Amino acid sequence: MCGIVGYTGNAPAAPILLEGLEHLEYRGYDSAGVAVVSPDKGLQIQKCKGRLQALREKLDSLPPLEGTVGLGHTRWATHGEPNDVNSHPHVSQNGRVAIVHNGIIENYAEIKDFLLHKGVRFRSDTDSEVVAQLLEYCFTDHSDPLDAVYAVLERLEGAYALGILCADRPDMLIAARKDAPLLIGYGGGESFIASDATAIIAHTRQVSYMEDGEVAVLTRAGVQVFDQYRRPVEKQRHTIEWDVSAAEKGGYAHFMFKEIMEQPEALRQTISPRLRDGRLVFDELELPEDRLRDFDRIFLVACGSSYHVGMLGKYNLERFLRLPVEVCLASEFRYSSPLVDERSLVIVISQSGETLDSMAALREAKARGGYILAIVNVVGSSIARESDGVLYTWAGPEIAVATTKAYSTQLVLLTMFGLWMAEKLGRADPEDYAAVTAELALLPAKLETVLADTGVYQYLASQYFNHDCIFYIGRNLDYALGLEGSLKLKEISYIHSESYAAGELKHGTISLIEPGTLVVALATYGQLFDKAASNIVEVKSRGADVVGLTTESFRPRMEQLATHTLTIPDTHPALQPNLGVAPLQLFAYYIALQRGCDIDKPKNLAKSVTVE
């Protein structure tokens, strides 16, 4: 969370920073700020609570900030409420340094206490301000800014991506990283730092990813990077392949809607390089068959929607592989002394590849000897880099906080991987293998038909947008799918929602069903349709309205049961959730639209969760 962008070059920095922040706002939008430094004016800071637009308006009413070196920040508040003072950049007491920070300084209280005793006065309630104040304090012993930065970093505990400006060095920007993403961008006579490439792609496609412990010094003359022991590092440069338009709305009202509609194409990008003549191929993996044979257990580790992919993956992978599969919330896994060893395959699923909980779980699993396979969307992200093997989802940049196309591509990729592994181990049923691969080829087109007509979802949203609680029920794969449908609704519409295994209702939850309660009943898993039907009858007979989602072949039966029936094309059961998720996304989207919610930037959330 929090977005950072920095610039050094010959152009006025402020407009470049603001433009960069526009692309980073999805990372946090509690406040925004910029700092620019120039030889004549020194450090100039403007920041305020609220969206970037508020900062723009403030800047428009003031004389332009002067300088060609600067930093920008958009905040997702952790320590200190969202207000003007707690906004970044933070400036040290005597105005010598300004910093922007993403992450949490865990020992900030101790440092603050130390500095308070030295007479330093703090302005904000943030953990981040200690970095600015400590840096200025360290200047008493270190006249060279880099010496002072290293002295500060030695004392910091926690996670940080830092951008630093010094009033008396208007030619220079310093960056440092530990456990929070930061990349360097290289242009002609200019250089950048950014939390992700979307912020700088309009200026350069040449980037390198900072590693933990690294410090970068950016000047007009170029970029120097040092490791934690201050040894120079030769950074590998990567070229960003995707087009700038992929990170723009392109005429759609919301990124979320655009990304829902992009799903068929995203699935094509994920599936087609790995499906050749009806066979699954994973050329990108260097996993010898004897290593595959060694695995006696699989862990699927993730957070949020990626965790829901894991929930679905468990059903499919256990069916294909007949191996025990455990699905773990990354935030719990890391503290649970997990039973991972050399025979464990640990699959970490993450869109951003930067989620701190998932990253920490990865490291825990690695330390215990597990083989780490990442399913990640963002190329070059931390999780991708620290894993033993990576499968990229190729969904393209996902901007809306609520994930859609990344979820869908993670899901299909995990299913494909499970089947591929089963075949390598001689455990795949040939008929089933052929059926899944045949359906994989058809999946994007089938999804297009689901997305072709959104009228029914708009209608349903108009009927139910003012409900204050909506239930989702389903069995087996439909249960896991319901968890995602319910999360989509909650996060963007703020309607309370619960998702239950349909068979579990009678063990307690059914007491919450009243006349008029809306229950979204998922029954796309044909084998259990009859069981799901019984559960639908149970809630209907207690007065619930039921929106039933099933496949075309079960439409007549669902129409007899539900208040409203939604259908998706039939496909192989293992792939059915890939079609089933789209109606749930659209239902949540239109409900949020009816309620006037800020769909792409729901309250209290951020896209990339880089704090614990």
CA-to-CA distance for 478 and 481, rounded, in angstroms?
5
C-beta of 588: minimal distance to ligand M6R in Å?
A: 10
Query: Which of 477, 569, 561, 568 shows the shortest CA–CA distance to 519?
Result: 561
99 vs 492, beta carbon nearer ligand M6R: 492
Distance CA 304, CA 329 (A): 8
How far is residue 292's CA from residue 373's CA, in Å, rounded to a whole number?
12
Q: What is the CA radius of gyration of the chain?
A: 25
Rounded CA-CA distance 394/263 in Å is 11
Question: In the bound complex, what is the minimum distance in angstroms from residue 517's beta carbon to ligand M6R?
Answer: 24
Give whichever of 212 and 570 is closer to ligand M6R, judged by the CB atom.
Answer: 212
Tell me the closest approach of the beta carbon of residue 401 to ligand M6R, in angstroms: 5
Q: How far is the CB of 381 from ligand M6R (least distance, A)?
A: 9
- DSSP conformation letters of 444-495: HHHHHHHHH--HHHHHHHHHHTT-SEEEEEESTHHHHHHHHHHHHHHHHH--
SS3 readout for 292-342? HHHCCEEEEEECHHHHHHHHHHHHHHHHHHCCCEEEEEHHHHCCCCCCCCC
Task: Report the C-alpha gap between 346 and 86 in whole angstroms.
Answer: 39
CA 152 – CA 167 distance, rounded (Å) = 18
**To the nearest whole angstrom, how small is the minimum distance from the Cβ of residue 331 to ligand M6R?**
10
| Residue number with CB closer to ligand M6R (233 or 356) | 356
Question: In sequence order, what are the residues at sequence separation of 6 or more whose Cβ sits closer than 8 angstroms to the Cβ of residue 457?
Answer: 583, 586, 587, 589, 590
Per CB under 6 A, residues contacting ligand M6R are 303-306, 350-352, 355, 358, 401-403, 487, 491, 609
CB 544 within 8 A of CB 571: no
Q: To the nearest whole angstrom, how small is the minimum distance from the Cβ of residue 195 to ligand M6R?
A: 13
Nearer to ligand M6R, 148 or 406 (CB): 406
Instruction: Write out the catalytic residue numbers.
Output: 2, 607
User: Of the two residues 304 and 396, which places its CB atom closer to ligand M6R in the complex?
Assistant: 304
Residue 168 corresponds to which tokens in the numbers above?
């008396």
CB hemisphere CA count around 576 (13 angstroms): 27
| In the complex, least distance from residue 582 CB atom to ligand M6R, rounded to whole angstroms | 14
Taking the complex as a whole, the smallest distance from the CB of residue 110 to ligand M6R amounts, in Å, to: 29
Query: 404 vs 437, which CB is nearer to ligand M6R?
Result: 404
Whether residue 68 contacts residue 38, with contact meaning beta carbons closer than 8 Å, is answered with yes
CA 611/CA 106 separation, integer angstroms = 11
Distances (CA, A) of 81 to 77, 78, 87, 179: 6, 8, 9, 23
Given the complex with ligand M6R, which of 166 and 303 has the nearer CB atom?
Answer: 303
Buried b (16+ CB within 10 A) or exposed e, 305-337: bbbbbbbbbbbbbebbbebebbbbbbbebbeee
Could you tell me if 104 and 79 are in contact, meaning their C-beta atoms sit under 8 angstroms apart? yes
Task: Output 186 or 299, the one with its CB closest to ligand M6R.
Answer: 299
Q: What does the alpha-carbon distance between residue 528 and residue 476 come to, in Å, rounded to a whole number? A: 8
Closest residue to ligand M6R using C-beta atoms:
304
Assigned token pair, 506? 């009678």
The span from the CA of 209 to the CA of 380, in Å, is: 7
Task: End-to-end CA distance of the chain: give it in Å, rounded.
Answer: 11
Q: To which H or E segment does residue 417 belong? A: helix 405-424
74 near 52, Cβ under 8 Å? yes
Please report how close the Cβ of residue 402 comes to ligand M6R at its closest, in angstroms. 4
Instruction: Pick the closer one to ligand M6R by CB: 303 or 501.
Output: 303
The C-alpha angle with vertex 508 and arms to 592 and 561, in degrees rounded to 5, equals 60
- Distance in Å, CB of 563 to ligand M6R, minimum: 27
Smaller CB distance to ligand M6R: residue 163 or 310?
310
Pair of tokens at residue 310: 């894991």
Residues 57/92/40/199 CA torsion (nearest 10 deg): -50
Nearest approach in angstroms of CB 486 to ligand M6R is 11
Structure token digits, residue 538? 């149970």
The SS3 assignment for 390 reads: strand
